[in-house]
Amino acid sequence: MQKLKYILLLFAGALLLQACPARPLPPETIYSAVLMNRSTLEASVRWEAPRQVGIPGKIYYIAPYLLISEQYRGVHVLNNADPSNPTPVGFIRVPGCMDMAVNNGLLSVDNAVDLVVIDILTTPGQAIVKSRTRSVFPELVPPDQNRVPDRYKKENRPEGTIIVAWEKMEGK
pTM (two decimals): 0.83
Mean pLDDT computed over 127-146 = 96
- Give pLDDT tens digits for 14-26: 655 665 566 787 8
Phi, psi angle pair for 148, to nearest 5°: -75, 125
Whether the pLDDT of residue 2 is over 80: the answer is no
Q: Going by DSSP bridges, is the β-strand pair 106-111/74-79 parallel, antiparallel, or unpaired?
A: unpaired
What pLDDT was estimated at residue 171? 73
Q: What are the pLDDT digits (tens) for 88-116? A: 999 999 999 999 999 998 999 999 999 99
Interstrand relation of 87-93 and 100-103 (parallel, antiparallel or unpaired): unpaired
Of 101, 129, 114, 140, nearest to 45 by C-alpha is 129
Q: Binning pLDDT at 50, 70 and 90, where does residue 166 land?
A: very high
Give residue 122's identity as a one-letter amino acid code: T
pLDDT at 59: 96
Lowest-pLDDT range, 14-18, 39-43, 119-123, 140-144? 14-18
Please check whether residue 92 is in contact with residue 118, taking contact to mean a CB–CB distance below 8 angstroms.
Answer: yes
> How far is it, in rounded angstroms, from Cα 25 to Cα 23?
7
Burial class (CB in 10 A: 0-12, 13-18, 19+), 18: exposed
HEC profile for 114-154? EEEEEECCCCCCCCEEEEEECCCCCCCCCCCCCECCHHHCH
Report the largest interatomic distance among the alpha carbons of the chain, rounded to a whole angstrom: 90
Q: 3-class secondary structure for 47-74?
A: EECCCCCCCEEEEEEECCEEEEEECCCE
Q: Average pLDDT, stretch 10-39?
A: 78
Which pLDDT score is estimated for 9? 62
* Distance between CA atoms of residues 98 and 72, nearest Å: 6
